[in-house]
Chain A
Amino acid sequence: MPLSLFWLQGGGCSGDSMALLNLEGPNLFAQLEYIGIELLWHPSLSHGTPRQYDELLAALLAGERPLDILCLEGAVIRGPGGTGMYDTHRRRPKKDLIAALAHRARYVVAVGTCASFGGVGGDGDVEATGLQYRKRQKGGFLGADFTSGAGLPVINLPGCPCHPEIVVRMLASLEGHWALPLNEFNSPLQWYGMLVHQGCIRNEYHEYRVEETDFGRRGCLFFHLGCQGPLTHGPCNKLRWNNRNSKTSAGVPCLGCTDPEFPKQHPFFKTRNIAGIPYDLPEGVDRAHYLAYKGMAAAAAPERLLARKTRV
């Protein structure tokens, strides 16, 4: 029996769905079929008559039709003043529908940073939150104790957007094909147990502290241009994007889009510094040692890197 999937969009931009459409080898529809997922509804892709949609929702909500997986894309909008009326469905707050479906589903998956942690709307007047976290704070919309029918918390797949291969591989794993241990934010370590920095083609420049102060060059973007690759968990430079590239490899600083606090308040294209060394150091690194190491690394930098001869 294929697993049934209902895809719901809250306060978001549909970027996660658009990214999914880019899946290759084979395409999205073939992959879903292959892993045994029946897509009951997707707001950007499905077409049923109005009556079919109403009947489907009614049957799911009444429990007459089993719902295996609920995917939410976009944040839960609670504003203004907790009413949720900034985002409505049939004249009622969309958040009510999200709650009702979440309590019917065997698995609840938050796709993208908005649905996981609140994302772009998290600091705005819309009072956006993720399903089970608001930024780093556990609880979010459904509460810290929420578990779906299968006894699991909301599985968070952050990223803005979430890499499409993560979504499909996550869905494929649900019925116990393989176990996926989760991190402290209930995201699979398989993809969120690594840093964006790993595999960036600017790594050698980073190693010898050959840092850029301006765009369009070959060096590393960590010290001045705001790159958050060494602090951000995600497989951008492993899975790559659109089968081709990644932002940091192309020369765009990592924006930290999988982080619970994305978008952070400080400027995206400027690194906060203390005495010329970034305020936020690579994950788990001690400042004194880092200072010593970076000083030596810079002194050891080979000429070909200083002259930016090595291509990226």
Chain B
Amino acid sequence: MMAHRTILNIPMNRVEGDLEISVAIEDATVVDAWSSGLMYRGIENILRNRDAMDGLVITPRVCGICTTSHLTAAAMALDAVSGAAVPDNAIRMRNLALLTEQVQSDVRHAFLMFHVDFTNPAHAQAEWYAEAMHRYQPFKGKCVIETVRETGKLVEVIAIIGGQWPHSSFMVPGGLASAPSAGDLLQCEMLVRQFRGWYEKRILGCTIERWQQVQSLADLDAWLEENDRHRQSEVGFFLRIGRAVGLDRLGAGVKNFLSYGAFPLPGDTTLTPLGGHGDRLVPAGFLQGTTLLGFDQTEIREQVKYSWYEDDPGGRHPDNGLTRPYATGAEGFKYSWAKAPRYRGLPAETGPLAERLVARDPLITDLVGRLGATALTRQFARLTRPATMLPVMEQWLAETDPNGLYYRHPAELVAGEGYGLTQVPRGALGHWLRIEEGRIVNYQIITPTAWNGSPRDDHDVRGPWEEALVGTSVKDPANPVELGHVVRSFDPCLVCTVHAATGGNRNPRNTRFKV
């Protein structure tokens, strides 16, 4: 039975926690996959019994890339508990800071993580390889250096508003702890403007206005043919080599897409919800295949049958979630420190692709309709998301009144329940907390990577990137670059290294899973 089967264990060094992907390969094709979160940091339990506000300090430390994202969710949850009426100015500044982090992350992920796989020696024979090396070689590539420089400048926006990036705690229930001046706002405008100039020149190869006319696959192909600037831009180069590598045939996932929505609209803004539905700029929703359903957070459950926590059949809503680690971490059929979140009992993909599908973005909807939700469309949705968001950042900066209110004192945080749900760079992030006598009695966090990198659930159904890996053909088990393309299209913000086990029997899961 084991004759043609190889098990690859792929430790993926992390940003949000160590992950390891294991795949079973038969006849050079992945037939099964397991995604294991390898680290437990116990953040939720650290928060218990602390002051109601302390989540604003502790939760950003969950992730050094998504620090402002956690701060946003934590502040929203506290707003909810205290019934805070956040002033419009503060809403705009919070949105601006989160968008800054998002644009930074989209671009850094692309050129420090995803596109680096194009320099893998597996592609060395390709005619575009020298160009890929020139652009993406770690520490040296032209685009790598520029990305580090430009994103470093951009996050100065968050430092101007909130003191530093990463890890400030400038959002508080009721608004902001800071009050940016007119000069501060002008400086932010210039930083965004400067970044936009670089993004247009190097990433798009055209103005954002021109890009916004691209609304379908046909438009996109015409755009690509239009001139050499488009073809040589990062988007153009990605489309050309992405197809050459076959990214459009890799990594179809679970086909359910989840967005919590993001960026509450200030009362006096001229911006309207993308896709025309919802009360936030980015709408919430659940797309089951092609059917768009409204989003209802009570439909979320976290299950732990395959996670290293005490068994709890059926799972729990995070309102009464439990985090009870089940020691050893190496034996039995449980295989991950990540829990398995499910929406209406289903695994769901989240991230820019899901978010833009839920928002009925015409280009992304057409692309997925024609090419499927693959590694190509997933990465494309991320790489081009800043083209939608940079003008939004400029607009909200222009609308902010430096003499207006940035903070309104909220009611005391004594007791109550609240949640903060938002889209962040990698997708849907949620914080749920309960406060009694001014102290936290329960705090539960579900990160985007928990959705995408989820292990199997109570019904043994695979998580999104486990599912996306199945069917991938792997040319060289010693260097399975295809798996890197698939997993990194979900932006787990991990660097992948691979360890090939010689025989399947070394994996204790074999017998359990009867592979």
Contacts and interface: CB of A to CB of B under 8 A. Distances in A.
B23 to A, nearest CB: 13
B64 A14 contact: yes
Interface in A18-66: 18-19, 21-24, 27-29, 39, 43-51, 53-54
A236 B164 CA distance: 10
Interface stretch (B323-331, B343-351, B424-432): B323-331
Contacts of B177: 215-216, 250-253
B151 A21 contact: yes
Contacts of B151: 21
Contacts of B155: 22, 242
Nearest to A265: B50
Interface stretch (A81-89, A136-144, A179-187, A273-281): A81-89
Contact of B174 (A39, A123, A215): A215
A18 B64 contact: yes
A309 interface: no
Contact of A11 (B16, B41, B330, B407): B41
Contacts of B18: 9, 87-89, 94
B201 interface: no
Contacts of A98: none
Interface in A223-254: 236, 241-253
Contacts of A236: 164
Interface in A100-146: 119-121, 123-126, 128
Contacts of B152: 21-24, 27, 242
Contacts of B159: 241-245
Contacts of A257: 167
A263 B156 CA distance: 25
B166 A19 contact: yes
B148 A242 contact: no
Interface in B383-412: 406-407, 409
A189 interface: no
A29 B175 contact: no
Contact of B120 (A13, A15, A49, A53): A49
Contact of A267 (B50, B153, B162, B407): B50
A67 interface: no
A15 B167 contact: yes
A13 B149 contact: no
Given A86-B325, A250-B162, A120 B495 contact: no
A17 interface: yes
Contact of B167 (A21, A86, A161, A270): A161
Interface residues of B, number: 86
A120 B112 contact: no
B170 A88 contact: no
Contact of A27 (B38, B51, B149): B149
- The main secondary structure of chain A at its interface with chain B is loop
Contacts of A119: 61
A18 B164 CA distance: 12
B394 to A, nearest CB: 20
A160 interface: yes
B138 A125 contact: no
Contact of A252 (B51, B108, B162): B162
A222 B54 CA distance: 17
Contacts of A45: 112, 138-139, 495
A80 B328 CA distance: 8
Interface stretch (B225-233, B242-250, B497-505): B497-505
B165 A242 contact: yes
A29 B140 contact: yes
A211 interface: no
A259 interface: no
B121 interface: yes
A311 interface: yes
Given A9-B13, A17-B64, A91-B330, A121 B160 contact: no
B130 to A, nearest CB: 17
Nearest to A221: B177
Contacts of A51: 478-479
A44 B163 contact: no
B56 interface: yes
Nearest to A243: B156
Contacts of B156: 242-244
Given A27-B149, A269-B51, A160 B61 contact: yes
B43, B116, B178, B500 pick with most chain A CB within 10 angstroms: B178
Contact of A245 (B9, B51, B163): B163
A270 B439 CA distance: 13
A50 B499 contact: yes
Given A17-B64, A50-B479, A268-B51, A29 B148 contact: yes
Nearest to A10: B39
B46 A216 contact: no
B119 interface: yes
A248 B65 CA distance: 22
B213 interface: no
Contacts of A39: 139
Contact of B497 (A12, A50, A215): A50
B331 to A, nearest CB: 10
A79 to B, nearest CB: 8
Given A15-B67, A215-B174, A47 B42 contact: no
Report the 7 A-B pairs with minimum CB-CB distance, sorted nearest first.
A15-B64, A50-B498, A43-B13, A241-B164, A267-B51, A216-B407, A250-B163
29 contacts: A9-B14, A13-B64, A18-B67, A27-B152, A28-B148, A29-B139, A44-B493, A47-B117, A49-B120, A49-B121, A49-B479, A50-B10, A50-B500, A85-B329, A86-B40, A125-B42, A128-B41, A216-B177, A217-B179, A241-B163, A244-B159, A244-B160, A245-B160, A250-B162, A251-B178, A252-B178, A263-B54, A267-B53, A269-B51
Interface of A: 9, 11-19, 21-24, 27-29, 39, 43-51, 53-54, 77, 79-81, 83, 85-91, 94, 119-121, 123-126, 128, 160-161, 214-217, 236, 241-253, 255, 257, 263, 265-270, 311
Interface of B: 9-11, 13-16, 18, 38-43, 45-46, 50-51, 53-54, 56-58, 61-65, 67, 108, 112-113, 116-117, 119-121, 138-140, 145, 148-149, 151-153, 155-156, 158-170, 172, 174-179, 181, 325, 327-330, 337, 406-407, 409, 478-479, 493, 495, 497-500
Given A45-B138, A86-B325, A252-B168, 14 more contacts: A13-B67, A19-B166, A46-B138, A83-B327, A85-B328, A90-B9, A124-B42, A125-B45, A215-B177, A241-B164, A241-B165, A242-B156, A242-B158, A246-B163
